[in-house]
Chain A
Amino acid sequence: MVAPALLHAALWIGLPVVASVALAFTKYDVLSAPQFIGLDNFREMLDDAVFRKSIWNTVVYTFFTVPVGMLLGLLLAMALHTGLKARGIFRTAVFLPQVTATVAIALVWLWIYNPGNGLFNSVLSIFGIHGPAWLLSTSWSMPSVILVGIWQGIGMKMLIYLAALQSLPKELYEAASVDGASRVRQFFSLTLPLLKPATFFVLITSMINAFQSFDQIYVLTDGGPANSTTMMTFEIYKSAFREFRVGYACAQSLVLFALLLAFTLVNRRMMGGTRGHS
């Protein structure tokens, strides 16, 4: 009974991973047979300024969307955990962007960022401010993309934190209150350590998602202006489907995989090492 799923996974996940690794060492344009070229793709990557830029952009994007989103998500979860009446409505509102297609969301934000009559510049003009051409400016494009990333990702982070908060043992807090621990003290010496597994989970999954952002870049900026918002995923797409250099694209995708794996392992070590204290 496991056979259909197993065959499917073998053909559409197992084989592709093996093929990715194999093709990374070849020159391949789909039309003619792949040609083994050893480490040339990886060597070329070292000199590829645009790809280096895309790695940097991916890291910057992740660095801002993930921790900021996590902090906001945690604060929101704690606000909702206080037993408010209209909790359901707030939770739904915050989570809404998460179930909506990134393409649709990016199109709405493209219109919000529109330099002429977009919502942002319309609101700014009420205060007499002449807003920039957000996505067309090399200095504003990345912050604009990051803002969309934070906005869309908050819901998920809040949700996981909320679930974790609800499962915390109430007795501990009662004991802490009896001992005279203040609310702030309780947060730092009880809540935060107890939330560590949730934090690890949110961090890993958000990072994996952030590293693989593609749809919003495709719609919002096409990697521009002047490669200021191009990401690793976008470079992989460009190499394979605009330049037809599939071997090179596979090599780039391996670098993406390796970076994700490395980040995950580092996080696990950092978070796991202190788990015993909580």
Chain B
Amino acid sequence: MATAELNKGELLRGTHKPVNWGRIALYAVLTLVSLLMVVPFVWMILTSLKTPAEIASPDAGLLPAHWEFSNYVEAFKAAPFATYARNSFIIAMSHTLINVVVASMAGYALARIKFRGSDLIFYCFVGALMIPTYTKVLPEFLIVRFMPLAGGNDLFGQGGSGWLDTWWALIVPGAVTPFAVFLFRQFYLDLPVELEEAARLDGLGEFRIYAQIMTPQVKPALTTVALLTFESSWNNFLWPLLVTHTDSLRVIQVGLSVFKTENGTQWHYLMAGTTLATLPMVVLFLIGQRYFVQGFATAGLK
């Protein structure tokens, strides 16, 4: 019978109903570590639901005595967090769309089309991957500031403020990442030649081969690049901090840091805003975990 077989199996492995202390200890340690990782998030949400009096009181418990969900409504009145989140969303969406289209085109061309200088161009992208943000961010700011014929600038970029405080500055410079080009190229390289040759025999042009034949084959790469681009764009802080000053163009991360400076003690509102800034990424991560894992394991860079 089944039980007999099971016992036989246990005997063979020499584990006859053992209390596996090692495994229990492992679970205990891992649970503790996971708790340590999650506690700050829990603390953030709990704080966002407390009254200021309770936050200030040293005797209050960890859980809110009364769950103040209205804090969220109030926080949205105290600062335009909804506008900030909307701005972040618009920028992250634009970055994602542009990066997926432009980088996949480049990755395809570098992987599948033989042309003069293609190797050199590939090495340029690899080199660009290694340039630290801080080596390029200052001149990037200057290019935005002196963008010719924009924001009152003349042909030589003088006289106005260029792209500063515009959507252009928030979207264009960070729209295409060398990492995405690199990742797409790897994926296109792995596709079989037959696919391409068949399409060529059917008389399809290069662009249609890219768009209709090859790109549907690299859907995991599309998802990975899309998710990682959206995430890093939503989480970006330095660049929007440098190029925007008006409240209406602020992104959520900058909005939060400004709110902290101006209303440093209103922890319940600040944590409500922080929850708003955190939640979309947590949800996105839980949905697309497989792709995030794949992408991060390739990139290693945040």
Residues of A within 8 A of B (CB): 1-2, 4-6, 8-9, 11-17, 19-20, 23, 30, 76, 79-80, 82, 84, 86, 89-90, 92-105, 107-112, 114, 116-117, 119, 122, 125, 151, 154-156, 159-160, 163, 201-202, 204-206, 208-209, 211-212, 214-215, 218-219, 232-233, 236-237, 240-241, 246, 249-250, 253-254, 256-257, 260
Verify B256–A2 contact, CB threshold 8 A. Answer: no
A interface footprint on B238-256 (CB within 8 Å = 1, 0 otherwise): 1000100000000001101
B234/A19 in contact, CB under 8 A: no
A38 to B144, CA, bound (A): 26
Q: CA A46 – CA B292 in complex, angstroms?
A: 43
- 1/0 contact string of B173-188 vs chain A (CB within 8 Å): 1111010010000000
State the Cβ distance, B81 to closest chain A Cβ, in Å: 12
* Bound CA–CA A37/B285 (angstroms): 49
Given A23, A109, A112, A160, which contacts B139 in the complex, CB threshold below 8 Å?
A23
Q: List, in ascending order, chain A residues with CB within 8 A of B70's CB.
A: none
Q: A82: which B residues are within 8 A, CB to CB?
A: 26
- Shortest Cβ-Cβ A-B pairs, 6 listed: A205-B300, A5-B106, A16-B139, A19-B139, A101-B235, A93-B34
Contact residue among A84, A151, A257 (Cβ-Cβ distance under 8 Å from B135) = A257
Q: A100 to B281, Cβ gap below 8 A?
A: yes
Q: Knowing A79-B26, A117-B58, say if A108 contacts B274 (CB, 8 Å).
A: yes
In the bound complex, do residue B281 and residue A101 qualify as a contact, i.e. CB atoms below 8 Å apart?
yes
Q: Can you report 7 A-B residue pairs in the complex whose CB atoms are below 8 A from each other?
A: A2-B110, A116-B58, A160-B296, A208-B132, A246-B138, A249-B138, A257-B135
Q: Is the interface of A mostly helix, strand, loop or mixed?
A: helix
Q: Contacting A108 at CB < 8 Å: which of B40, B57, B109, B135?
A: B40
Query: Are B300 and A160 touching (Cβ within 8 A)?
Result: yes
Measured CA separation A4–B106 after assembly (Å): 8
B131 within 8 Å of A by Cβ?
yes
Distance, CA A202 to CA B301, complexed state (A): 10
Asked whether A1 and B282 contact (CB < 8 A) given A107-B270, A201-B300, A219-B257, the answer is no
* Residue numbers in A under 8 Å from B174 (CB-CB): 12
**CB-based contact B277/A104 at 8 Å:** yes
Contact indicator per residue, chain B 124-159, by CB within 8 Å of chain A (1) or not (0): 110010011111111111110100000000000000
A9 partner residues in chain B, CB cutoff 8 A: 124-125, 128, 176, 178
Residues of chain B contacted by A2 (CB below 8 angstroms) = 105-106, 109-110, 118, 121
Q: A206: nearest residue on chain B (CB-CB)?
A: B300
Whether A219 pairs with B260 at a CB distance below 8 angstroms is yes
